[in-house]
C-alpha cells in the first residue's frame, strides 16, 4: 500500500530516471575516457598519462568500503543532488585550468574530486531508485535506466570527443577546445542539479537508517569481509576477477593514443573527430550488440558451456591492434570495421565475466559480496592500465618485427596478445555448476 501511495504522489519516473542515469554515466566516461585522449592531445607522455589517469579509477575500486556510511547521513536524494553539484564545480575547474602551464597536476586534482563524487553518486542514485520505486516499477524501468546509461556512453565516448575534434579544427587550439567541452559539461550538470532538485520526489523511506552507527557498520563490514574470503574457491575466483580482462585492461589506456598518433610515430593518424566516431558510435554499438548476443547465448547454454568461447572472444580480437599497428592502414572504413570487430568480441566475452560475479556472490550476504567482486573487477582494470604507458616505452626499444617503422605500438600489442594466455590460465581453475545461467 505504501508503494502505491508513493507512486500516486510522486512525479512520473520518466521525469527523472533518464536524466539520473545520464548524470551517472557522463562523469564516469569523462574521468576514464576523455582524460586519456585530452592529455595525449596536450602532449602528456604515455607513461605519465596512463599512470595518473589509472589512479582515477581508485574510487570505483574502494566504493564498497564507504558505501555503507552513506546510510548514516542525510538522504539518498540529498547525496545524489549534492554530488551532481560537486561534479558541476569540478568540471568547471578542469575547464578553467586547462589553458595554464600547470594544467596537468591542477586538472588531476579536479578529476580526483569528480571521480569520488561520481562513485558516490552511483551509490546514492541506485539506492534512491530502489527506495522511490515499487518492486514492479523497478523491474519495469530497469531497461530504461540501462538505455540512458548507454546513451551517456555514446555521448561521453562519441559525441563529446567529436565536439572536441570539431573545436580543435575551428579554434586551432587544443586547450581551448577541451576547455569549451568541460565548461559545456559543467553547465549541463548545473542544469541537472537544478532539475533534480525540482523533479526528483522525496521518497518516504529515504532517510538515515535508524539504529545504525559507524561502529555497527564497521563490525558488519568486517564480518562480511571475512565471510567473503572464506567462500569456497576464493583463490581461483580472485585470480579470475583480477586477470580475466588483463588484455583489455592493458589496451584501454593506449588504444586512443595509438589512433591519434601520427603514422611516423607508429599510430594511425586519425583526427580527434574520427576517434570520437569510431569509438563512441561504431565501438559502442558493437559492444552493446556483443553483450546482447552473449546474454542470449548463456541463457540457452549456461555459463559453464560458454565460458571458453567467451574467453576466446574477449581476447583474440585484440589481435586487430597487432594488424593495425603493423600495417597502419589509412582506409577509415577498414579501421572502423576492425575496432567494431574487437569491441563486439569484448562485449560478447565480458558477459561471462559479469555472470560469474553473480554466480560467485550467491548465498548469504550476496549483495555485499557482489560489491566486493566489482571492487576486484575495478582493481583488475586499474593496475594494468597504470603500467600500460611504461610498458609501451620499455618495449619501444626492442626490435621484434622488422617493420621499418617505430616498434612501440607493435611490440605493445603483441605483448597484449601474449597476456591472453593469462586469461586462459585463470579460466582453467574455475568450477561452475553446469546449469547456472540457463533459463
pLDDT band for 370, please (50, 70, 90 cuts): confident
Give the integer Cα–Cα distance in Å for 265 and 245. 27
| Domain stop point among 188, 212, 236 | 212
pLDDT band for 10, please (50, 70, 90 cuts): low
Average pLDDT, whole number, for the chain? 88
Question: Which residues constitute the domain of residue 314?
Answer: 218-439
Say if residue 258 is in the same domain as residue 294: yes
**Percent of the chain scored above 90 by pLDDT?**
61
Give the integer Cα–Cα distance in Å for 315 and 352. 13
DSSP letter at 59 equals H
pLDDT in tens, 389-421: 999 988 887 766 555 556 789 999 999 999 999
Say if residue 295 is in the same domain as residue 408: yes
Give the integer Cα–Cα distance in Å for 90 and 96. 10
Measured CA distances, 17 to 23, 81, 115, 146 (Å) = 10, 13, 21, 10
Say if residue 142 is in the same domain as residue 193: yes
Per-residue pLDDT, 67: 78
pLDDT in tens, 146-156: 889 889 999 99
Please report, for the domain that includes residue 208, its CATH number.
Answer: 1.20.1250.20
Say if residue 196 is in the same domain as residue 267: no
Higher pLDDT, 62 or 206: 62
pTM of the entire predicted model: 0.87
Rounded to an integer, the average pLDDT of 109-131 is: 91
Q: What is the DSSP string of 317-372?
A: GGHHHHHHHHH----HHHHHHHHHHHHHHHHHHHHHHHHHHHHHH-STTHHHHHHH
The number of domains in the chain is 2
Say if residue 193 is in the same domain as residue 293: no
DSSP letter at 202 equals -
Give the integer Cα–Cα distance in Å for 24 and 118. 7
CB distance 126 to 224 below 8 Å: no
| Domain stop point among 161, 183, 212 | 212
Amino acid at each position: 500500500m505504501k508503494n502505491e501511495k508513493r507512486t500516486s504522489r510522486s512525479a512520473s519516473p520518466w521525469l527523472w530516471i533518464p536524466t539520473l542515469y545520464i548524470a551517472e554515466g557522463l562523469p564516469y566516461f569523462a574521468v576514464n575516457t576523455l582524460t586519456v585522449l585530452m592529455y595525449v592531445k596536450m602532449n602528456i607522455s604515455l607513461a605519465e598519462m596512463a599512470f595518473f589517469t589509472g589512479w582515477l579509477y581508485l574510487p570505483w575500486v574502494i566504493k564498497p568500503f564507504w558505501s555503507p556510511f552513506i546510510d548514516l547521513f542525510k538522504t539518498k536524494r540529498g547525496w545524489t543532488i549534492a554530488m551532481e553539484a560537486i561534479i558541476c564545480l569540478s568540471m568547471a575547474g578542469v575547464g578553467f585550468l586547462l589553458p595554464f602551464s600547470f594544467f596537468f597536476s591542477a586538472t588531476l586534482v579536479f578529476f580526483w574530486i569528480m571521480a569520488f563524487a561520481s562513485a558516490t553518486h552511483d551509490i546514492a542514485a541506485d539506492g534512491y531508485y530502489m527506495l522511490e520505486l515499487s518492486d514492479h516499477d523497478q523491474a519495469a524501468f530497469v531497461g530504461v535506466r540501462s538505455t540512458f546509461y548507454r546513451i551517456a556512453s555514446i555521448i561521453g565516448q562519441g559525441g563529446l570527443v567529436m565536439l572536441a575534434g570539431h573545436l580543435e579544427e575551428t579554434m586551432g587550439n587544443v586547450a581551448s577546445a577541451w576547455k569549451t567541452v568541460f565548461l559545456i559539461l559543467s553547465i549541463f550538470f548545473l542544469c541537472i542539479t537544478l532539475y533534480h532538485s525540482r523533479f526528483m520526489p522525496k521518497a518516504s523511506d529515504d532517510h538515515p537508517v535508524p539504529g545504525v552507527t559507524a561502529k555497527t557498520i564497521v563490525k558488519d563490514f568486517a564480518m562480511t569481509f571475512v565471510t567473503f574470503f572464506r567462500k569456497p574457491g576464493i583463490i581461483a575466483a580472485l585470480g579470475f576477477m583480477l586477470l580475466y580482462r588483463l588484455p583489455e585492461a592493458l589496451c584501454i589506456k593506449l588504444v586512443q593514443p595509438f589512433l591519434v598518433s601520427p603514422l611516423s610515430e607508429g599510430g594511425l593518424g586519425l583526427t580527434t573527430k574520427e576517434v570520437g566516431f569510431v569509438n563512441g558510435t561504431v565501438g559502442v554499438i558493437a559492444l552493446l550488440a556483443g553483450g546482447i548476443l552473449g546474454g542470449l547465448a548463456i541463457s540457452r547454454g549456461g555459463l559453464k558451456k560458454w565460458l571458453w568461447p567467451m574467453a576466446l572472444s574477449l581476447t583474440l580480437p585484440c589481435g586487430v591492434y597487432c594488424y593495425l599497428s603493423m600495417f597502419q592502414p589509412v582506409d577509415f572504413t577498414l579501421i572502423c570495421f576492425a575496432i567494431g570487430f574487437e569491441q563486439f568480441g569484448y562485449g560478447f566475452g565480458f558477459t561471462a565475466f559479469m555472470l560469474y560475479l553473480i554466480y560467485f556472490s550467491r548465498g548469504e550476504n550476496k549483495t555485499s559480496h557482489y560489491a566486493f567482486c566489482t571492487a576486484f573487477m575495478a582493481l583488475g582494470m586499474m593496475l594494468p592500465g597504470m603500467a600500460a604507458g611504461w610498458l609501451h616505452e620499455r618495449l619501444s626499444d626492442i626490435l621484434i618485427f622488422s617493420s621499418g617503422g617505430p616498434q612501440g605500438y607493435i611490440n605493445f600489442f603483441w605483448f597484449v596478445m601474449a597476456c591472453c594466455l593469462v586469461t586462459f590460465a585463470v579460466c582453467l581453475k574455475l568450477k561452475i555448476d553446469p546449469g547456472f545461467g540457463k533459463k
